[in-house]
Structure 1
Amino acid sequence: MDTEKIKEVLEEEPEEAVSQLLEDIEDWYGEVPYILNFMKDKPELFIPKVMYDNSIMREFKRLDPKTIEMICIGVSSALRCEHCLKMHIKVARRLGIKKEEIFDAVLIGGTLSNAAVLAEGTRAIDHIFDNGENTCDETCEVCNISDPEKKE
């Protein structure tokens, strides 16, 4: 959204600005995402969010729309956001992205999601075992769950 368009939106009555932005969103995505529909009655939150999102997702000139949608698909997959994922797959399909390419983005998102789980889990294991961390006392049922002698 260019600066002139932003000025136009900000000069309108909030309800009219929300209405125009919703129409623009529906034209682009083919639907209005649930979150934005939920926020539409709060123009003071809705308008800046849509303008910010629009600036990144649709007016970002260094990446083409197909690349942006592929990133959205990978991230939506990694975050396990079913609603975002389905919407971005629909947009990607309308942009002519092939099913196999979309699947590649899902695979990349899955790989990164898996890596994040493993990184967090292994760091937590190392932190507890290697640092000898035990912030609990003898009465902690979690720490003493496998040692019945400590419970008595």
Structure 2
Amino acid sequence: MKPENQKTIDEFLSRADEMGDDIIAQTEEWLGVVPFIFTLMRERPEAFALSVLGDYHTARPASLDPKTAELVAIAAAAGAGADNCVRVHIGTALKEGATRDEILDTILIAGIIGKTHVLAPALRAFRDRLPEADSLSTSPKNRS
């Protein structure tokens, strides 16, 4: 790494503990709660600052308005089975102007993808193990 870049990183990391306090306060204002993972990650100020600042900028891209970003976060959290994250991001989506219907539809769409996540590999395994099953699904009498 170039010395000037290393110097910039070192200066940044020298303020990691102070930034951590700011990050916690900003997160609580943004989400209305501080995720428990933040309290534990905070024990490593440098890693915490680097990780969470990157996450924040990823979660709030310039290309999406905050409400849309929160709906995406709900869908991703639902798909990942992160129930507490779903709850937190529902609250934040409401704060950003999302309606009940928008949130419900977001969760339902995530559910469709979740169903596909289960069915696609299982049905591929089924087809591969029982190839004659594939020919049955394409026979003219089974198309209706």
TM-score by length of 1: 0.73
1:38 equivalenced with 2:40 (yes/no): yes
> Looking at CA atoms only, which structure, 1 or 2, has the larger radius of gyration?
1
Cα distance in 2 for partners of 1:128, 1:19 equals 55
> Equivalent pairs: percent with the same residue?
30
Instruction: Name the structure with the higher helix share.
Output: 2
Which residues of structure 2 form unaligned runs of 5+? 1-7, 132-144
Contact kept in structure 2, 1:18 and 1:43, CA below 8 Å: yes
Q: In the comparison of the two structures, how many residue pairs are matched?
A: 123
Contact kept in structure 1, 2:42 and 2:48, CA below 8 Å: yes
Contact kept in structure 2, 1:10 and 1:17, CA below 8 Å: no
Q: 1:36: Cα distance to partner?
A: 1.6
Aligned to 2:98, what secondary structure does the other structure show?
A: coil
Runs of 4+ in 1 over 3 A off after TM superposition: 127-130
What residue number does 1:91 align with? 92
Aligned to 2:125, what secondary structure does the other structure show?
A: helix
Taking only aligned residues, the RMSD between alpha carbons, in angstroms, comes to 2.0
Change (3 A) 1:65 1:18: same
Aligned to 1:31, what secondary structure does the other structure show?
A: coil
What residue number does 2:4 align with? none
1:124 equivalenced with 2:102 (yes/no): no
Q: 1:41: Cα distance to partner?
A: 0.3
1:15 equivalenced with 2:17 (yes/no): yes
Contact kept in structure 1, 2:17 and 2:46, CA below 8 Å: no
Question: What do the CA deviations read for 1:33-70 (whole angstroms, capped 9, x no partner)?
Answer: 12222211012321111111111112x11111111111
